[in-house]
Structure 1
Amino acid sequence: MEIGLDRLLAVSFPIKYRELQFQKAFYTSIHLIFPILYTASILYLGFIERTDEQVKCAIPTALAGVSFKVFTLSSHAIYVSILLAYLMTAILLKFHDTSSRFKAVFKSIGVTVGIVLFGWAITTVSNTFGYFVTDDPEIFNLIQMYSGITVNIAISSNLLIFYTINPEYQMTVKLLMDGSCGKLPTFSDSGSELQNLRKVTKSQES
């Protein structure tokens, strides 16, 4: 979601976005606020619901009861926000004069996020409807574990997707594979270009 919001900001307010690149700590901190608060809240709910019952060594069993329901239902809202962010970004890219490189980067990220989102959506839907399918905790735990396979497949496919779509990623991987990673080229989003854009922006404002 944060990557989608970052891309949306880059397309909607390109000059302001370039300015934020000089405030990396501040900009990164803003993006970390929601993930940290969300994760802390889920972990807190899971912590206060803990019992002395023994559980299997499986990730889904770390949350139970209200905490798991909150996590599952809130995931649906996050997925919708991700779709909206990328849809708005795609529309803006289509009707704005944007560099082909930026569009290629957005395409590779968009496809990757889409596949991962699809995997997570299947997992979340399975977990949500698992409550209606069975009352047996053993079967419900199995549903949780097996539905997570789609997420693992989606995440493991990132390398292939980026390599197939993004030419710069292809070049970087090839340079890393043949041991010449020290010869990585400098792309167009260099610091000097950002400095020049900043000067132009200031002159326009004055």
Structure 2
Amino acid sequence: MATFYDTHKNAGVLSAAIPAISIMIIVDTIGIIANSLVIMITIFAMSLRSTTNYLLAMQCFFDSIHVLAHYYLAYVLYSGKNFDTLPTCFFIMAVPLTGLSIGMSLIFFTAVDRLFAVLLPSKHQKLNKVLYLGSILAICMGYNVYILYIGYLNAKQHKDTMVICLIIEGLHGTPSTVWSAIATGLVFTAVFIYIIIGICIHRKFNSNVNTRKLYKSLFILCILMTFSWVLSCVNGILSSVFNLSEELAFFIPLYVGITINVACGSNFFILTRYSKEYRIAAKDFFERIGIQGVFKPASKTFPWM
């Protein structure tokens, strides 16, 4: 029986993939611009100087690095090239994979940071921010180096394997499974932490407002990412249980992956919608560059904003 590669290596453009990659490119372009706005707002706004604000800015940066992978994928699919060797794909995706791994790690550490701020507010306020954030980034970098290392060894061992170069295909095989298991654990643990934070906020509803800052925004962002990963996991399980064809095993994750791109590009929109702090900072930033009336005063406020 002919393999997916045998069937499509000289078939030209995979027409069924074009709508998905086109949507991804549109979403990713908007997302990169929006994430850049979060970074710039954080730099200019004196009110956004907490460790959580900095972690969010770093996450926006690495999310933007992550989605750069899809511009190469677009070239591959639009041109009809379709396939690369696994080593070629790995090296092309090394930088986007760095963005993906560190971005996922920062989701977890942002949740931990908020829990720290809620449970031990006085100690959290006295932190050496440079040392604290530097340590978090060092841990994330160490994890990323491990993932890239096992990906490199795998690509070297399977140098003749041909893949369509989605970002995760740079880790084709066992490294992909390892990465997915760790990423899923990080995201679901983050959700659990936010649930704990929500309980703490409910019990201390009239306490210092600092314990409630950004909670709703961060929880929504985390749920969006979790939802996208649940879809990906369900897809993987169904593919195994029903022994889906190689075509479906490629096309279904391609379309499901759009939800992850939406989650990566939603930071600015969620933060400015649900966080009064970010909304005011964004309004001031746009006025600074001569753009008036971007954000109207909120008609309703919430205790967690």
CA distance in 2, matches of 1:49, 1:143: 24
SS in structure 1 of the partner of residue 126 of structure 2: helix
- Does the aligned pair in 2 maintain the 1:72–1:127 contact within 8 Å? no
Structure 2 CA distance for aligned equivalents of residues 153 and 86 of structure 1 = 21
Q: Secondary structure at the match of 1:49?
A: helix
1:135 Cα offset (Å): 5.8
The one-letter amino acid of 2:111's match is G
Number of residue pairs the alignment of both structures matches: 179
| Partner secondary structure for residue 264 of structure 2 | helix
Cα 1:16–1:80 shift into 2, 3 Å: same
Give the letter aligned to residue 43 of structure 1.
Answer: L
* Aligned match of 1:131: 240
Cα distance in 1 for partners of 2:281, 2:289 equals 9
2:150 corresponds in structure 1 to 45
The counterpart of 1:107, out of the listed 216, 221, 231, is: 216
Q: How does 1:171-182 map to 2 (within 5 A)?
A: 171-179=280-288
Aligned to 2:166: 58
Q: Could you tell me whether the CA contact under 8 Å between 2:147 and 2:179 is conserved in 1?
A: yes
Runs of 5+ in structure 1 lacking a partner?
182-206
Per-residue deviation, 1:169: 1.7
Alignment-derived partner of residue 12 in structure 1: 119
Number of the residue aligned with 1:189: none
Partner Cα separation in structure 1 for residue 173 and residue 242 of structure 2: 16
Q: Deviations over 1:51-103 (max 9, x none)?
A: 23332232131111111111222233222311221111111122124333542
Please say if residues 60 and 141 of structure 1, whose CA atoms lie closer than 8 Å, have aligned partners that are also in contact.
no
1:25 counterpart residue number: 130
TM-score of the aligned structures, taking structure 1 as reference length: 0.75
Report deviation, 1:168.
2.2
In 2: Cα distance, 1:101 partner to 1:11 partner: 8
What do residues 86-131 of structure 1 show as CA deviations (whole Å, max 9, x unaligned)? 1111111221243335424222222222222222332233235433
Q: Which amino acid aligns with 2:122?
A: I
Hey, what does 2:183 align to over in structure 1?
75
Which residue in 2 is equivalent to 1:93?
Answer: 201
User: What's the counterpart of residue 35 of structure 1?
Assistant: 140
Give the letter for the 1:48 counterpart. L
Q: Please say if 1:152 is aligned against 2:257.
A: no
2:251 alignment counterpart = 142
The offset of 1:36, in angstroms, is 2.2
* 1:92–1:10 Cα change, 3 Å: same
Query: 1:167 aligned to 254, 260, 276, which one?
Result: 276
* CA distance in 1 between partners of 2:211 and 2:261 (Å): 28
Q: Structure 2: how far apart are the matches of 1:115 and 1:30?
A: 27
Post-superposition offset of 1:33: 4.2
- Cα pair 1:4 1:82 within 8 Å, conserved: yes
Contact 2:231 2:256 in 1 (8 A): yes
Q: Percent identity?
A: 25
Q: Distance in 1 between matches of 2:237 and 2:178?
A: 10
Distance in 2 separating the partners of 1:94 and 1:169: 23
Which sections of structure 2, spanning at least 5 residues, go unmatched? Answer: 1-107, 291-305
